[in-house]
Amino acid sequence: MRRTLIESLTRRPLTEPPPAADDAALAELAGNMERAARRRLGRSLAIRQVDAGSCNGCELEIHALNNAFYDLERFGLRFVASPRHADVLLVTGPVTRNMREALERTYRATPDPKWVVAIGHCAADGGVFAGSYAVVGGVNAVIPVDLHIDGCPPSPTAILKGLIALLEEAR
Amino acid sequence: MRTLLDIIPKGERIDGHRPWPRFAVTADGWHHVASEVAAGRATLLGLWADRAALPTMHMALLDEATGAIAVVSLACPDGRFPSVGALHPPAIRLERAIHSLYGYVAVGAPDLRPWLDLGFWNLRHPLGAGVAQPAAAGTFQFLPVEGESLHQIPVGPVHAGIIEPGHFRFTAGGETIVRLEERLGYVHKGIESLMAGAAIEQAARLAARTSGDSTVAYGIAFAHAVEAALDIEAPPRARYLRALMAELERLANHFGDIGAICNDASFALMHAHCAVLRELVLRAADGAFGHRLMMDRVVPGGVAVDLAADGATRIRETLRQVAHRFPRLVELYDNTASLQDRTAGTGALHTDFARRFGASGYVGRASGRAFDVRKAPGYAPYDRLTFAVPVLTAGDVNARVWIRIREVEQSIALVEQILDRLPDGPIAGSPDGGRPDGEGLGLAEGFRGDVLAWVRLDGRRVARCHLRDPSWFQWPLLEAAIEGNIVADFPLCNKSFNCSYSGHDL
């Protein structure tokens, strides 16, 4: 292990250059966000992730944002443990009926100004689970959504592009 | 020597159930089989209901010694059947779920509180008669706890980390947990109802999204079940490619878990390095099969995509890097006393519990149960590959970490063998062959344990599909393992089990 640590001092970092902000996301955000809110938040966003019914595939890729290749925190984006500390709710999954109330309460517990980013195909419209007795639908069927990042699951790069667009707009 | 078939009362063998036999039994026969399972003469592999021509209960059984499998079925026109859970606790939650979903009653069951139904649906018994009156929310009673100076800590469904939702009700005396009761079902999506009537292709997409971390394992289990029902076989190259994907999935998840367990013991260095190894494997999978998690790549009849032209080279190069770096991390884990202090002796699961519950994967293998579907009953191509199934008996967090470490080593060797022997030929059989109305039982070894899939087909459509995640027999054991540990060690214990919420909730 000592060798690994010494190598880490001399080796170039694994962290990759940031991807450009996603154009489609920028366009969606331009229509959704209030300028006043953007000024107040500056260049740092605290993210609270909420699984509202996902298959856990999206969670795996959100987790990956913290690894050395993507290193989310270099952008001023970080995950927090409580909605009270959050600026952004990152919501995955079709919203199940069993999670609807928990999602609503998490949203209400998040102070304004706040944004909701829906991650993954299911979060847009329920995906393959749409129409089930146990599923409400996409995230915007329960709380207002500012940005969708599509994919099943979206790759960490795709999520990063969307979040960087959010930062660009918030600056 | 008694065999599995000896414990099953003489009954009618049902035609068209493959590859293992299915027998219709009477209520007395059902009760007899349950008592044999309770006595340890067979392992409960699954328990599910089917609203066919008549309400029917099915119980899948495993003979551990021989790998023999059989299904027994009880027609219950009045929706009542003798409780298995009354004799054999691992069946309790399955019976509660069957009651919530179908309305069928396990007579004599020790616990018939709802399971999965949290009172938010528009109807009760959605897979049964579908009563329009929903269950009352907020009336759920947790198990009573009595004693001086005890306090309760409710946790969830929304947790502090990036994890799935579930509710944990802790009762603690000071820092020590005296009882944990789980309440799950928050991510119940109604997968089995969406399966009913779906075309096989659509059902496969649902199966692949039952638990995203095990999408390949679910794909294989579902494909095994459908192929058995249709009486067709996937071509050899497809079997090898499935195994290749399954081992990459196992590697990625084990790297993620080993790091995350250490992270929950506040040892972030392991987490950072393991996350890099996980990412390397996912990138190799993406390069080889066009999807990082390899979702929808396994389909009934074969696989959907062939290995990319440079796929084998990329995977070999990745594994060369991984095999170079991983031993250093293992050494770090083994030689860090402060980390060992957290994992050794923590969350110990008794071998007897693991055996009774038929716990599979690292949970079972860290507590003395060697069961691995790849070995017995076994499936191609693993019968032609050389690998060992690591087993320990300590049953603590440390043992569950070591099982994962040893499995990483085995999986790296398996990928090498698969790439060396990958046969040429088609990657999928003709979708038109086969019998139209069979039933099939399929198993696959995911990183977490054995995934079971059962289908009843109606032409090219799924009439009924049941999916049983290994977590069904692991979640209850977490309640047992945590007893007597401190509250602060729960995240560590929970991560070492890493049960699936979505796979369990369906």
Mind listing the pLDDT tens digit for each residue in A32-83? 655 545 555 666 889 999 999 999 999 999 999 999 999 998 888 899 999 9
Q: Searching chain A, which residue's CA lies closest to the CA of residue B123?
A: A133
What b/e readout covers B300-324, taking b as 16+ CB neighbours within 10 angstroms? bbbbbbbbeeebbebbeebbeebee
Do B276 and A67 make contact, defined as CB atoms within 8 angstroms? yes
Query: How distant is the Cα of A146 from the closest Cα of chain B, in angstroms?
Result: 20
Structure tokens at B323: 């095999």
Q: Searching chain A, which residue's CA lies closest to the CA of residue B252?
A: A60
Give the pLDDT of residue A19: 84
Give the pLDDT of residue B137: 65
Element containing residue B426 per DSSP (H, E): none
Helices (H) and strands (E) in chain B, counts: 15, 16
Give the pLDDT of residue A171: 54
B370 phi and psi angles, rounded to 5 deg = -85, 0
Give the pLDDT of residue B66: 87
Closest CA to B304 of B205, B371, B392: B205
Give the pLDDT of residue B148: 87
- Beta strands B450-458; B461-468: pairing state: antiparallel
Contacting A residues, span 126-145, partner chain B, CB-CB under 8 Å: 127-129, 131-135
Using an 8 Å Cβ cutoff, are B45 and B62 in contact? yes
Sheet holding B167-173, edge to edge: B150-155, B167-173, B176-183
- Beta strands A135-137; A95-96: pairing state: antiparallel
Higher pLDDT, A167 or A77: A77
Using an 8 Å Cβ cutoff, are B382 and B375 in contact? yes
CA A90 to chain centre: 4
Helices (H) and strands (E) in chain A, counts: 7, 7
Could you report how far apart the first and last alpha carbons of chain B are, in Å? 39
Do B189 and A94 make contact, defined as CB atoms within 8 angstroms? yes
Tell me the C-alpha distance between B182 and B169, whole Å: 6
Using DSSP's 3-state secondary structure scheme, residue B173 falls into: strand
A98: chain B residues, CB-CB within 8 Å: 118, 120-121, 185-188
Give the long-range contacts of residues B84-87, CB within 8 A, separation 24 or more. Answer: B84/B30, B84/B34, B84/B37, B84/B44, B84/B47, B84/B59, B85/B109, B85/B110, B85/B111, B86/B34, B86/B110, B87/B34, B87/B35, B87/B37, B87/B38
- ipTM for the predicted complex comes to 0.94
B74 phi and psi angles, rounded to 5 deg = -125, 120
Query: How distant is the Cα of A145 from the closest Cα of chain B, in angstroms?
Result: 19
Q: Nearest 10 degrees: CA dihedral of B196, A134, B125, B203?
A: 10
Q: Does A15 touch chain B (CB under 8 A)?
A: no
Do B212 and A135 make contact, defined as CB atoms within 8 angstroms? no
Q: Does A100 touch chain B (CB under 8 A)?
A: yes
B163: chain A residues, CB-CB within 8 Å: 51, 59
A82: chain B residues, CB-CB within 8 Å: 160
Q: Searching chain A, which residue's CA lies closest to the CA of residue B274?
A: A67
Closest CA to B335 of A68, A7, A4: A4
Do A53 and B163 make contact, defined as CB atoms within 8 angstroms? no
A134: chain B residues, CB-CB within 8 Å: 121, 126, 188-190, 193
Query: How distant is the Cα of A16 from the closest Cα of chain B, in angstroms?
Result: 13
Query: How distant is the Cα of B32 from the closest Cα of chain A, in angstroms?
Result: 36
A153 preceded by a cis bond (ω within 30 of 0): yes
- Beta strands B12-13; A135-137: pairing state: unpaired
Q: One digit per residue, pLDDT tens: chain B, 506 residues? A: 567 777 888 778 888 999 999 999 999 999 999 999 999 999 999 999 999 889 999 999 999 888 899 999 999 999 999 999 999 999 999 999 999 999 999 999 999 899 999 999 989 999 988 777 776 766 789 998 888 889 999 998 998 889 999 999 999 999 999 999 999 999 999 999 999 999 999 999 999 999 999 999 999 999 999 999 999 999 999 999 999 999 999 999 999 999 999 999 999 999 999 999 999 999 999 999 999 999 999 999 999 999 999 999 999 999 999 999 999 999 999 999 999 999 999 999 999 999 999 999 999 999 999 999 999 899 999 999 999 999 999 999 999 999 999 999 999 999 999 999 999 999 998 766 667 789 999 999 999 999 999 999 998 899 999 999 999 999 999 999 999 999 999 999 999 999 999 999 99
Do A98 and B188 make contact, defined as CB atoms within 8 angstroms? yes
Q: Which of A67, A92, A103, A119 should be substituted to probe chain B, the one whose Cβ sees the most B Cβ atoms within 10 Å?
A: A67
Give the pLDDT of residue A20: 82
Q: How many A-B residue pairs are in contact by the CB < 8 A criterion?
A: 144
Using DSSP's 3-state secondary structure scheme, residue B266 falls into: coil
Give the pLDDT of residue B393: 97
Indicate if the pLDDT at residue A23 is higher than 80: no
Using DSSP's 3-state secondary structure scheme, residue B25 falls into: coil
A107: chain B residues, CB-CB within 8 Å: none
Do B187 and A93 make contact, defined as CB atoms within 8 angstroms? yes
Q: In Å, how far are B78, B364, B410, B415, B440 from B386, measured between CA atoms?
A: 50, 21, 9, 11, 28
Do A128 and B206 make contact, defined as CB atoms within 8 angstroms? yes
B187: chain A residues, CB-CB within 8 Å: 51, 53-54, 93, 96, 98-99
**HSE-up (13 A, CA, CB side) for residue B463:** 15
Closest CA to A136 of A107, A97, A101: A97
Give the pLDDT of residue A43: 65
**Percent of chain A beyond pLDDT 90?**
64
Q: For chain A, how many residues are written?
A: 171
Give the pLDDT of residue B402: 98
Could you report how far apart the first and last alpha carbons of chain A are, in Å? 41
Tell me the C-alpha distance between A73 and A161, whole Å: 14
A59: chain B residues, CB-CB within 8 Å: 162-164, 212
- Radius of gyration over every alpha carbon of chain A, rounded to an integer in angstroms: 17
Tell me the C-alpha distance between B364 and B373, whole Å: 13
B118: chain A residues, CB-CB within 8 Å: 98
CB atoms near residue B273 (< 10 Å): 24
Query: How distant is the Cα of A161 from the closest Cα of chain B, in angstroms?
Result: 17
